[in-house]
Structure 1
Amino acid sequence: MAVTFVGVRHHSPACARLVRDTIRRLRPAYVLVEGPADFNGRMDELLLGHEPPVAIYSYHRDAERVHASWTPFCAYSPEWVALTEGRAAGAEPRFIDLPAWHPAFADRGNRYADAELRYAEVAERLCREFAVDNTDVLWDHLFEIDTDDTARRLDAYFGLLRGEAEAGEDDAARESYMAGWIRAAEADAGDRPVVVVTGGFHKPALETLAGSGGTVWPDVPEPPEGSTGGSFLVPYSFRRLDAFTGYQSGMPSPEYYQRLWEGGPEEAASALIETVVARLRERRQVVSTADLIAARTLTDGLTRLRGHRAPARTDLLDGLVSALVNDDLDQRLPWTSWGRLAPGAHPAVVEMVAALGGTRVGRLHRDTPAPPLVHDATAELERLGLDRGGPVALTLTTPRGLERSRALHRMRVLAIPGVERRSGPATGADPVLEERWVVDVSDDGGRRMSALIEAGAYGPTLAAAAAAVLDERMTSAGRDMGGLADVLFDAALCGCADQSGRIAESIAAGIAGASDLAALGAVLEVALGLWRHDRVLGTARSPLLGTVVAEGVDRVLWLVEGVRGGPGPADLGRLRAVAAARDALVHASGPLGLDRDAALGVARRVAARTDVPPDLRGAAFGLGRALGDTADPVRAVRGAAGPETFGDWLAGLFALARQEVLDPATAILGVLDDLVGGMGDDDFLVALPALRQAFEFFPPRERETIALGLLERRGTRGSPRALLRTDGPPLLIAEARALEARVDRALHAAGLEATS
């Protein structure tokens, strides 16, 4: 018997019907499906009786790359129908494609991503010929609504798309491998048929390749030595399948196609009109019975106008928009293009897209094997009393509190939904000893189970998996000091001591070549905090972190002395870097042997230069004061008082030496008052934005202290808190005052002053 090839579009109900009818008619010996051949030994597991959508999640890790891939199935996926109908017909279903770890899939996160880019020119020509917006509309027009003679028209369509184009190297490898399975199945089937279900792009090549060559079952390739990998079944969702949320299947609106598969286009359109209206009403958007009737009438009219025997997806959507949206639309309707729903779409359009996308979530059969991580995480959370939802308060100074914290942080690092930290240590610099979390164990959408299964690729336990993720992040960060700082702090929070040491070694090795002052400052801030405070996290007085701190201070000061530039907005990142160096010099100079005198010399030189940005000059002056410099602060403040630079200079000073300003003995507050009070309206308007940013360094209580000092200096009694309030935006008030001053000057020049 001959082999029957069925070329399909992934997740197409029309193709699923064709596959179903073909298998029922032929009752073949083998049903061969485009899918990962290394899963063939677990076909019984795949066909246990799950509720789709589900997916095969495959992972692969080696020294060069980490790759994750999904092979998703919904009820109307032709591949899923081929497997289930093949088993029901007594056939042996088999996957015939290369495993997901194979280099042919290196650039694919999804096996069933469409290949439109390879034949974009042909697809565009067809869209112009049929006067439709894109290939989704074209597909519905040709296949989903009109189901007559589907097989012949599919052959013509895919033959035209493939044309004479040569397959790329990756597709050629896949097609050669699949052809080997087809030849072997044909030889083994004897006089019984074989049905082959693959993407339509591959069908013409497979028909040619399957005609010659060996007839031995191909070997399933093994991952390279030294790599790890595997596959597990995971629940999937319509949201993850929808092209409007980023899935590359090319088939948007999965709920629409599910309804189309189950009841046909008439029933799908009728049910989804009601769903859209219900969603809009739930969001307090007025939709009357007349609007509902209008939507149905307009949908029917568009269906007839476009020559469809029943409403297509875009007939439904366009009818809904015409009936329910009265405003002007600022952007194209999303179904007239391809890809994610763009931000700023009309709220009614968003609800239409969401209704047709659906909220269905798959469910795995209870006997489905799960990776060890799922069982470990479940047992660990139960042991620690974290298997119940609600708020969780933890004290990090108790062994149980620390253990619970580490378990939750490992879940967070693995991106498992349902754990959210509301407060706790932020950078390691804060000696915070309590954390507050919110734990949600409901998992109504199946996201938590899917994420746990997928995270099982990293290790069998929460600790091992989190450590592997941190290793991966460390490798990805390379010499990025900011990224390494984040990983270092997460490693400490997760209790991953081995990772903390390796990350610190990477940081120490990269400090000498670091050029990003802000990122280096972030590393120094975290390393110093962990070195100073974290006896709880097990990193206090770590020699390796001490080395990072010492070398980080030297590098920060060296970079600071090389910065040049004129006036400009204060750079908060580099100010934090100088502040981190200050903290290290103040709190760790003795134990770590830091050279305070050398640092003071840098501070004096930078503060005195006129070709250094003003915020950095102010920070250098503040650093000097923090290290004991006795230079006259009043003279320094007066020397930086130009309206274009004053606020930025103060930002640097306040970032490094807030207490100096608050100390009455320094008289800095009085000098600031005199300088600001002596500015003309125009100069004050120029200086105000930077001044406001500078004073943001003071918390509310300290701002009240400053306001009280100003009141006392003027001999005025009143509430300092009231002084901080204004009747409107300060900048707007200042601009109004400047405008009034200019008007007064213009009137004076014209001799038109107002008289009382």
Structure 2
Amino acid sequence: MTKPAGPLLLGVRHHGPGSARAVRAALDAARPRTVLIEGPPEADNLIPLGADEAMRPPVALLAHAVDEPGRSAFWPLAEFSPEWVAIRWAVEHRVPARFIDLPATHTLAWGKQDETALDTEAGEGSEPAADADESGDGANGSRAEESDPRAAVRVDPLAVLADVAGYDDPERWWEDVVEHRGTGDGDAFAPFLGLEEAMGALREAYGSGGHDRDLVREAYMRLQVRAAQREFGDDVAVVCGAWHVPALRQKSTVGADKALLKGLPKVKADMTWVPWTNRRLARVSGYGAGIDSPGWYGHLFSASDRPVERWMTKVAGLLRDEDRIVSSAHVIEAVRLAETLAAMRGRPLPGLSETTDAVRAVMCEGSDVPLALVQDRLVVGDVLGEVPRSAPAVPLQRDLDRIQRRLRLKPEALERELELDLRKENDAERSRLLHRLRLLRVEWGEPVASRGSTGTFRETWRLRWEPELSVRVAEAGVWGTTVFAAATAKAEADAVSAPGLADVTALAERCLLAELPDALPTVMRILADRASLDTDVGHLAQALPALVRSLRYGDVRGTDTGALAEVAAGLAERVFVGLPPACAALDADAAEEMRRHVDAVHGAIGLLGDVVAPARGTSTERGASDGPSAPGHGELRERWHAVLRVLVVRDTVPGVIRGRAVRLLLDDGELAQDEAARAMGLALSPGTPPGDAAAWIEGFVGGGSGGGMLLVHDERLLGLVDAWLTGVSAEVFTDVLPLLRRTFSAYEPGVRRTLGELVRRGPGERGGAGTGGSGIPGFAAEFDADRADAVVPVVRLLLGLDLVEMGGGADSGLGDNNLVGATG
């Protein structure tokens, strides 16, 4: 075993476990005085962190432009990456290690230059050129993941070599010739010499492979190798993509190499280590060294012997954890089948395809459903790396790390749901952190609907930490050094630049959720200014519900929302004044949109009255000198009911809005059953065009408003609809059918079935067994206190109340009948 003359060039495939093992063997054999590694030289001072016990791959070197943190590049490293093995070998043997690729200061500037050129070309109406990524890795695509998403067009060395060898799959060829072989006859350098010879032939045939920037990178690498040789002689080991080895071996002058580097664009760059994930390693989006099976490769690297048997044991354990019946016999048979398939296919050892086929046939009984779980959990994996606290980081990242540790909210690569009870201080702080990060565009958590509870004191989040979020944190660092300060500054800036009133109200809601009291004055001032200038009722109606939700959240979180309540009440007054004129002369689409606004305002007024009234306090508490205040609970509802009555009687208002106004008044008890029946009779009279009548019906009983149950329980209303529908002429019926179908198809199947049965029997034929004086089955003419009291225990159970919390008894003002009245 003789070391080749000159510097030891170890050409590798990035993220190749076979290359990683070979690099370790070659370094052990050569014992170089220094190790040079393909990577950005700005990270040289980060290499010693590779020896830190808290550093756990997968990790990545992150470079970002200081003045533009969003412009970034990653150099990911897994445990089975040859570069990581070289770093670990160097720090363990106290050998200096250096990165020798083109500095990130040029790489980031190239990315910016490309985007500028792309924008110019797109502006001229031409298709952007498909440039190759400037960070090609040699053996497997690009080495650094740029923010530029354009795919590279270049020669794939593995594909060419596999095709020459008669393989149709480059991955299978690589496994057969590298992953499934040792170091031959004990020569640790033989694998690299053979790969160098193959790459040399490819470089002779294809040159730079369609990527001229490789020539610049290789010129810089040659200069760094020469510098190391002057310092250490030929006891230099270079670990780089195999594609670059022939170029590093070729003879060129220092002047020629420096000429290639002259005039390169530059930006000021900063670097650190960040955690990476197996899932991110498996992606190929700009980072051409993505691999389909990082979990499998990690297993091959770590399994000292019998990798197939150990893999099948892992698979069996996973499936058993998912309650699938997998025995030791399954494992034995799967191993035998994988080995048989490898022999039949002429492979030296079973690869991923053979083990997958064996698992599908033996352990999954031919089903791809459990196999998908194996693919997700083992072949890819949910591993999230870790970096030590001593790694350089922006101040905002350090503050975030400190908060995460205090709240015991650890970032994880595996997606999980987090249930929060805002009545608990720790959960409330977690909620505030996640909302503040969302304001900063750090989308670690996504709010989802809570299961089993609709209370405002509960929140459910779906969490998953992606490596790109480290870039977002660095980018958000321009707003402040702490999460609180940065979120406050970002909210104020967003309020100033918000395009519309609804955007400002939504921002006010997010500020309350994130508890940013310092940002609220600015947001409220801009909100008041926008509300006073905006004359579009639709915009006002969109903004009001968000404000009212903010009031509710503020009540739950103990936030002072007095100013917000005043603005909301003023906004409601403007909606009351402007809504009737805005509802006149609308086409069908505009009328439907306005109907949704009416629904939203109706719900908001109900909630606004509930939160404004307690905030106002009694007249004694406020005092006579406090001046005017927001209208109280009753005042707001009375004003709103008056507006609805105006909408009911105006002929210029579309039928869908008039019908919804009647329904809302009926639900609030402001309109008696007889009045509602009379309004429907007028709307469905022969003098009303069928289209308008159908729209009125949709507004009154359409959608998920419970209109179906209203028709089930009110015989008169159902009779009116039935009489009108049977009186519509055949010519007109086809015009109103789509609208009617949309109205009634939204009902639950049981409601539709009951309505069909009632119509089949005919009006007046329902029987009077359960009919009282009201004419509605199941309802008496007067209130039945005994029957109401019987319901109270069930209602209390559903609401989570008890007699102690209610105060009990009639003296408390919350007696049984009052409770039924309130909840009913």
Q: One fold, TM greater than 0.5?
A: yes
8 Å contact from structure 2 (residues 312, 331) kept in 1 = yes
Q: Are 2:351 and 1:312 equivalent residues in the alignment? A: yes
Give 1:213's match in structure 2, choosing from 257, 261, 272.
257
| One-letter code aligned to 1:256 | W
Q: Are 2:668 and 1:648 equivalent residues in the alignment? A: no
8 Å contact from structure 1 (residues 57, 68) kept in 2 = no
SS at match of 1:84: helix
Moved more, 543-552 or 517-526: 543-552
Shift of 1:271: 0.5
Indicate the residue corresponding to 2:206 in structure 1. Answer: 163
Q: Are 2:33 and 1:13 equivalent residues in the alignment? A: no
Indicate the residue corresponding to 1:41 in structure 2. Answer: 45
| One-letter code aligned to 1:494 | A
Shift of 1:312: 1.6
Distance 1:602 1:712, change over 3 A: closer
Moved more, 149-158 or 687-696: 687-696
How does 1:174-573 map onto structure 2 within 5 Å? 176=216, 179-180=219-220, 182-190=222-230, 191-200=233-242, 212-214=256-258, 231-243=271-283, 249-263=289-303, 267-327=306-366, 345-358=368-381, 360-364=383-387, 376=399, 394-395=422-423, 405-406=428-429, 408-414=431-437, 435-436=457-458, 455=473, 458=477, 459-467=480-488, 479=499, 486-500=506-520, 521-530=541-550, 534=554, 536-542=558-564, 564-565=587-588
Indicate the residue corresponding to 1:739 in structure 2. Answer: none
8 Å contact from structure 2 (residues 576, 643) kept in 1 = no
SS at match of 2:101: strand
Indicate the residue corresponding to 2:195 in structure 1. Answer: 153
Distance 1:718 1:280, change over 3 A: farther
Give 2:108's match in structure 1, choosing from 84, 102, 114.
102
Q: Distance in 2 between matches of 1:384 and 1:13?
A: 38
8 Å contact from structure 1 (residues 54, 363) kept in 2 = yes
8 Å contact from structure 2 (residues 436, 483) kept in 1 = no
8 Å contact from structure 2 (residues 90, 97) kept in 1 = yes
8 Å contact from structure 1 (residues 654, 695) kept in 2 = no
| One-letter code aligned to 1:156 | A
Shift of 1:679: 7.9
Shift of 1:32: 3.2
SS at match of 1:672: helix
Shift of 1:77: 0.6
Shift of 1:259: 2.7
Q: Distance in 1 between matches of 2:274 and 2:22?
A: 27
Q: Distance in 2 between matches of 1:615 and 1:133?
A: 64
Indicate the residue corresponding to 1:84 in structure 2. Answer: 88
Shift of 1:11: 1.0
SS at match of 2:38: strand
8 Å contact from structure 1 (residues 528, 545) kept in 2 = yes
Say how many residue pairs are matched: 660
Distance 1:273 1:2, change over 3 A: same
Q: Distance in 2 between matches of 1:473 and 1:572?
A: 30
8 Å contact from structure 2 (residues 36, 98) kept in 1 = yes
Distance 1:47 1:498, change over 3 A: same
How does 1:669-708 map onto structure 2 within 5 Å? 671-676=716-721, 688-692=744-748
8 Å contact from structure 2 (residues 17, 80) kept in 1 = yes
Q: Distance in 2 between matches of 1:12 and 1:385?
A: 35
Give 1:713's match in structure 2, choosing from 774, 779, 798.
774
Give 1:637's match in structure 2, choosing from 680, 683, 688.
680
8 Å contact from structure 2 (residues 109, 267) kept in 1 = no
Distance 1:551 1:717, change over 3 A: closer
Distance 1:462 1:385, change over 3 A: same
Greater C-alpha Rg: 2
5+ residue gaps, structure 1, are 330-344, 396-400, 663-667, 697-707, 722-756
Distance 1:507 1:123, change over 3 A: farther
Distance 1:584 1:136, change over 3 A: same
8 Å contact from structure 2 (residues 276, 385) kept in 1 = yes
Indicate the residue corresponding to 2:118 in structure 1. Answer: none
8 Å contact from structure 1 (residues 32, 182) kept in 2 = no
| One-letter code aligned to 2:659 | G
SS at match of 2:62: strand
Indicate the residue corresponding to 1:618 in structure 2. Answer: 659
SS at match of 1:541: helix
Q: Distance in 1 between matches of 2:385 and 2:261?
A: 33
8 Å contact from structure 1 (residues 98, 177) kept in 2 = no
1:651-708 alpha-carbon deviations (Å, 9 max, x no partner):
57996x99xx99xxxxx95642433565889999885324559999xxxxxxxxxxx9
SS at match of 1:258: helix
SS at match of 1:272: helix
Distance 1:494 1:127, change over 3 A: same
| One-letter code aligned to 2:195 | R
| One-letter code aligned to 2:719 | D
Shift of 1:302: 1.7
Percent identity over the alignment is 19
Distance 1:95 1:159, change over 3 A: same
Shift of 1:504: 6.0
Shift of 1:12: 0.8
Q: Distance in 1 between matches of 2:515 and 2:579?
A: 29
Moved more, 50-59 or 6-15: 50-59
Q: Distance in 2 between matches of 1:549 and 1:66?
A: 41
Q: Are 2:181 and 1:136 equivalent residues in the alignment? A: no
8 Å contact from structure 1 (residues 567, 645) kept in 2 = no
Shift of 1:421: 9.6
Q: Distance in 1 between matches of 2:774 and 2:671?
A: 27
1:704-752 alpha-carbon deviations (Å, 9 max, x no partner):
xxxx99865336458999xxxxxxxxxxxxxxxxxxxxxxxxxxxxxxx
Shift of 1:377: 5.8
RMSD of Structure 2 on Structure 1 (CA): 6.3
Q: Distance in 2 between matches of 1:517 and 1:6?
A: 70
Moved more, 545-554 or 138-147: 545-554
Shift of 1:183: 0.6
8 Å contact from structure 2 (residues 513, 553) kept in 1 = no
Distance 1:231 1:164, change over 3 A: closer
Shift of 1:304: 1.5
| One-letter code aligned to 1:637 | M
Q: Distance in 2 between matches of 1:518 and 1:120?
A: 56
Shift of 1:59: 7.0
Distance 1:269 1:473, change over 3 A: farther
5+ residue gaps, structure 2, are 116-132, 136-141, 185-189, 411-417, 613-627, 685-689, 727-732, 753-768, 781-786, 789-824
Moved more, 81-90 or 543-552: 543-552
SS at match of 1:11: coil
How does 1:24-35 map onto structure 2 within 5 Å? 24-28=28-32, 30-35=34-39
Q: Distance in 2 between matches of 1:554 and 1:308?
A: 81
Q: Distance in 1 between matches of 2:742 and 2:459?
A: 44
Q: Distance in 2 between matches of 1:485 and 1:185?
A: 60
